[in-house]
């Protein structure tokens, strides 16, 4: 069993692949052995999470997720605890593995109760796993609510009940403090509502390491390879970044992106403000070179375009789309969503293989896809992939568990970052960081995954007592 941390890359498999892996794993073992392993792993983690808990409430649902719970209960009983099992569903309709586990729990003298205890130190959530097919209702839903309210710690088996393991979307779900994912890690644990629902994620492969042949649906991003800065190098070795944005009233957005590019190691950083009356000099960051827009030649540069761009950015886009490398953010994306000609130019850029990264938040993604924010958030992996394919660009779909998709289908989920980033300007900082990496010649997907990871890590390591602002983040 391993704690899932951002210190390495992890493979993530969807429900369909997990089902195939489960079938192969079960077929290679004696009957019921896989579920017995699952229950033992759950019981071990329960003991580690709440070593001093006497009563452990185990809520078991109608399928095999419930079976894992019965198995866990019988181990806890054998170890001197007092598990109290609440069972939902008709025994006659239970899958065979779960029914076997229920009978073993009864035979071991595990106590069953119709109601949840008023309070408990630890609850084990074995109500629904990857078989959750519809919004929970009735007694099942009541138990889910009681679990979150009454237990000091909640350990969810495989998936927090009610969460869609593929998408991380949910109508209602248990809010766990710990989740033990079995056989595979599932994408929904790490994006959309998943991170709030899961708490700390743990992983147990149940002794089945052979998952070859099942392509992961995504990778959780791990630490980037450190950037070499050889002694025999000069500012030209790290490339030029240009930032175009800062329409009237929004100059700060362009400055944030430019400062972030500078602090992320770009050789030289230029700013072209869309507001003609913007200052010609950034007094507190004199290393930035503010230039009239029409004097900047983007063809040798990595351009971050759109930060605070307003409507004015549309006029620059035909020229911006010829930049050597390009990050399109915010209003640049909105302008492209509204203009078929710009869309065609972006698609052509993709066909030429010019490095391009789009950084939409969910609403910007919805505009580009001609859909709705709810639809994008309903399946973030699919939305990011659709955009990446359509525009031949790397796409960073921002928000909790940012999804990064490349046009060739490679997909990543970022495990770093937190809601302290949910403030104006942090997206501009991200665009600048990506541009700095593109300027140095990094491949678009590598630049995007590395920048998203480090941007989130900076927020995770931010001192609790220090306000996180976009300007502080830009120079972190
Ligand atoms: N087999 C093995 O060896 C191993 C299995 N493993 C474990 O099995 C889990 C998958 O088991 P599973 O396929 O039985 O699905 P599960 O999540 O228990 O739910 C299905 C049941 O719930 C019901 N149901 C669904 N939604 C509902 C709702 N909203 N409200 C009410 N009912 C609802 C659904 O009913 P139906 O939709 O059929 O009417 C069905 O009865 C997996 O997550 C892992 O924990 C692992 O330990 C590895 C070893
Ligand atoms: N709840 C959250 N958890 C993790 N990251 C978040 C969260 N909310 C926002 N972020 C991150 O903060 C940044 C916000 O970007 P964006 O919405 O474009 O803001 P702005 O345009 O004001 O800079 C993105 O990188 C996004 O992924
Ligand atoms: K569960």
In this structure, the answer to whether residues 324 and 467 fall within a common structural domain is yes
Residue 402, marked binder = yes
User: Is residue 228 situated within a structural domain?
Assistant: no
Domain hosting 315: range is 235-474
pLDDT at 213: 81
Residue 68, marked binder = yes
Pocket perturbation via mutation, ligand 2, pick of 254, 368, 426 by most ligand atoms within 8 A of CB: 426
Are the CB atoms for 33 and 96 separated by under 8 Å?
A: no
Rg (CA), the chain: 25
Pocket perturbation via mutation, ligand 1, pick of 27, 61, 161 by most ligand atoms within 8 A of CB: 61
Residue 373, marked binder = no
Helix (H, G, I), strand (E, B), or coil: what is residue 25?
helix
Q: Is 402 left (phi over 0), alpha (psi -120 to 50) or beta?
A: beta
CATH of the domain at 307: 3.40.1190.20
CA distance 15 to 22: 10
In this structure, the answer to whether residues 52 and 157 fall within a common structural domain is yes
* Tokens at 275, concatenated: 């507001």
Q: Are strands 289-290 and 268-273 parallel, antiparallel or unpaired?
A: parallel
The total number of structural domains that make up the chain:
2
Helix spans in 96-250 (H): 96-107, 138-150, 194-198
Ligand 1 nearest-atom number relative to CA 137 = 30
Ligand 2 nearest-atom number relative to CA 195 = 3
Are the CB atoms for 275 and 444 separated by under 8 Å?
A: no
In this structure, the answer to whether residues 107 and 13 fall within a common structural domain is yes
In this structure, the answer to whether residues 287 and 207 fall within a common structural domain is no
Supply the mean pLDDT for the chain. 96
User: Is residue 224 situated within a structural domain?
Assistant: no
CA distance 343 to 405: 18
Residue 393, marked binder = no
Closest CA to 5 of 230, 185, 267: 185
**Residue-wise pLDDT tens digits, 34-57:** 999 999 999 999 999 999 999 999
pLDDT at 7: 98
Q: Whose CA is nearest to atom 9 of ligand 2?
A: 422
In this structure, the answer to whether residues 194 and 158 fall within a common structural domain is yes
Helix spans in 176-309 (H): 194-198, 251-263
pLDDT at 105: 98
Q: Which of 218, 250, 269 is the last residue of a domain?
A: 218
Q: Which of 184, 218, 252 is the last residue of a domain?
A: 218
In this structure, the answer to whether residues 242 and 144 fall within a common structural domain is no
* Tokens at 155, concatenated: 């350990």
Pocket perturbation via mutation, ligand 2, pick of 309, 402, 421, 433 by most ligand atoms within 8 A of CB: 421
pLDDT at 209: 79
Closest ligand to Cα 182: 1
Kindly report the length of the chain: 476
Report which DSSP code applies to 122. Answer: E
User: Is residue 378 situated within a structural domain?
Assistant: yes
pLDDT at 208: 85
Among residues of the chain, what percentage have pLDDT more than 70? Answer: 100
CA distance 94 to 133: 16
pLDDT at 78 over 90: yes
Closest CA to 122 of 77, 171, 84: 84
Ligand 1 centroid to Cα of residue 240, in Å, is 54
In this structure, the answer to whether residues 87 and 136 fall within a common structural domain is yes
Over residues 405-419, mean pLDDT: 98
Over residues 229-246, mean pLDDT: 94
* Tokens at 198, concatenated: 């899961």
Report which DSSP code applies to 371. Answer: S
pLDDT at 4: 98
Q: Whose CA is nearest to atom 36 of ligand 1?
A: 133
* Tokens at 241, concatenated: 């970044």
Residue 130, marked binder = yes
Q: Whose CA is nearest to atom 24 of ligand 2?
A: 427
Ligand 2 nearest-atom number relative to CA 428 = 23
Over residues 417-431, mean pLDDT: 98
Strand partners, 88: none
Residue 409, marked binder = no
User: Is residue 227 situated within a structural domain?
Assistant: no
In this structure, the answer to whether residues 462 and 375 fall within a common structural domain is yes
Residue 399, marked binder = yes
Helix (H, G, I), strand (E, B), or coil: what is residue 180?
strand
pLDDT at 279: 86
In this structure, the answer to whether residues 386 and 258 fall within a common structural domain is yes
Residue 253, marked binder = yes
Closest CA to 335 of 356, 313, 357, 319: 313
pLDDT at 281 over 90: no
In this structure, the answer to whether residues 23 and 164 fall within a common structural domain is yes
Among residues of the chain, what percentage have pLDDT more than 90? Answer: 94
**Residue-wise pLDDT tens digits, 163-219:** 999 999 987 889 999 999 999 999 999 999 999 999 999 999 999 877 778 999 999
Q: Out of 225-229, 328-332, 415-419, 427-431, which region has the weakest mean confidence (pLDDT)?
A: 225-229
In this structure, the answer to whether residues 360 and 394 fall within a common structural domain is yes
CATH of the domain at 109: 3.40.50.10260
Ligand 3 centroid to Cα of residue 164, in Å, is 11
User: Is residue 160 situated within a structural domain?
Assistant: yes
Q: Are strands 325-329 and 403-405 parallel, antiparallel or unpaired?
A: unpaired
Over residues 14-19, mean pLDDT: 97
Q: Which of 218, 244, 259 is the last residue of a domain?
A: 218
Q: Whose CA is nearest to atom 16 of ligand 1?
A: 131
Q: Are strands 356-359 and 325-329 parallel, antiparallel or unpaired?
A: parallel
* Tokens at 213, concatenated: 């042949």
CA distance 265 to 254: 17
CA atoms within 13 A on the CB side of 234: 1
Is residue 269 very low, low, confident or very high in pLDDT (cuts 50, 70, 90)? very high
User: Is residue 122 situated within a structural domain?
Assistant: yes
Ligand 2 centroid to Cα of residue 458, in Å, is 13
Closest CA to 241 of 384, 51, 439, 414: 439
Ligand 3 centroid to Cα of residue 173, in Å, is 9
CA distance 336 to 343: 6
User: Is residue 230 situated within a structural domain?
Assistant: no
Residues flanking ligand 2, CB < 6 Å = 330, 361, 398-400, 402, 417-419, 421-422, 424-428, 430, 455
pLDDT at 282 over 90: no
In this structure, the answer to whether residues 304 and 268 fall within a common structural domain is yes
pLDDT at 286 over 80: yes
Ligand 3 centroid to Cα of residue 128, in Å, is 4
Residues flanking ligand 1, CB < 6 Å = 22, 26, 34-35, 38, 61-66, 68, 95, 97, 128-136, 140, 157-159, 182-183
Are the CB atoms for 434 and 444 separated by under 8 Å?
A: no
pLDDT at 367: 98
Helix spans in 238-394 (H): 251-263, 313-320, 330-337, 340-352, 362-369, 373-378, 380-391
For the chain, the first-to-last Cα distance in angstroms comes to: 35
User: Is residue 229 situated within a structural domain?
Assistant: no
Closest ligand to Cα 398: 2
Roughly what angle, to the nearest 10 degrees, separates helices 330-337 and 340-352? 110
């Amino acid at each position: 069993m391993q704690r899932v941390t951002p210190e390495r890359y992890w493979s993530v498999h969807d429900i369909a692949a997990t089902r195939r892996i489960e079938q192969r794993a079960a077929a290679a073992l004696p009957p019921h052995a896989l579920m017995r392993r699952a229950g033992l792993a759950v019981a071990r983690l329960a003991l580690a999470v709440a070593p001093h808990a006497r009563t452990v409430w185990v809520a078991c649902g109608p399928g095999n997720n419930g079976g894992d719970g019965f198995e866990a209960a019988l181990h806890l009983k054998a170890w001197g605890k007092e598990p109290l099992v609440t069972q939902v569903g008709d025994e006659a309709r239970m899958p065979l593995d779960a029914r076997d586990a229920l009978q073993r729990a009864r035979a071991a003298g595990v106590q069953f109760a119709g109601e949840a205890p008023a309070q408990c130190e630890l609850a084990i959530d074995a109500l629904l796993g990857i078989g959750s097919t519809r919004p929970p209702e009735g007694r099942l839903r009541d138990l889910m609510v009681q679990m979150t309210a009454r237990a000091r710690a909640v350990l969810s088996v495989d998936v927090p009940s009610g969460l869609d393991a593929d998408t991380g979307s949910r109508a209602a779900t248990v809010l766990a403090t710990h989740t033990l994912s079995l056989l595979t890690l599932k994408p929904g644990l790490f994006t959309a509502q998943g991170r709030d629902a899961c708490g700390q994620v743990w992983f147990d492969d149940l002794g089945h390491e052979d998952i070859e042949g099942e392509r992961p649906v995504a990778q959780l991003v791990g630490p980037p390879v450190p950037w070499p800065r050889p002694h025999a190098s000069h500012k030209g070795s790290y490339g030029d970044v240009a930032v175009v944005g800062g329409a009237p009233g929004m100059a700060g957005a362009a400055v944030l992106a430019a400062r972030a590019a500078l602090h992320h190691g770009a050789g030289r950083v230029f700013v072209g403000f869309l507001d003609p009356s913007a200052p010609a000099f950034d007094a507190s960051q004199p290393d930035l070179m503010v230039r009239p827009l029409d004097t900047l030649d983007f063809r040798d540069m990595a351009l971050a375009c759109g930060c605070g761009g307003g409507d004015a950015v549309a006029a620059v886009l035909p020229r911006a789309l010829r930049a050597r490398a390009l990050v399109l953010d915010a209003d640049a994306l909105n302008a492209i969503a509204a203009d078929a000609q710009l869309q065609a130019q972006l698609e052509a850029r993709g066909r030429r293989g010019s490095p391009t990264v789009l950084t939409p938040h969910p609403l910007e993604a919805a505009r580009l896809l001609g859909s709705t924010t709810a639809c994008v958030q309903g399946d973030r992996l699919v939305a990011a992939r659709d955009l990446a394919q359509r525009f031949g660009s790397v796409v960073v779909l921002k928000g909790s568990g940012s999804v990064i998709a490349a046009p060739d289908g490679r997909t990543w989920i970022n495990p770093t970052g937190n809601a302290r980033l949910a403030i104006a300007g942090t997206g501009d900082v991200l665009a600048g960081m990506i541009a700095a990496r593109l300027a140095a010649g990094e491949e678009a997907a590598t630049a995007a995954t590395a920048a998203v990871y480090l941007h989130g890590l900076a927020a995770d390591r931010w001192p609790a007592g220090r306000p996180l602002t976009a300007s502080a983040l830009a120079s972190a």
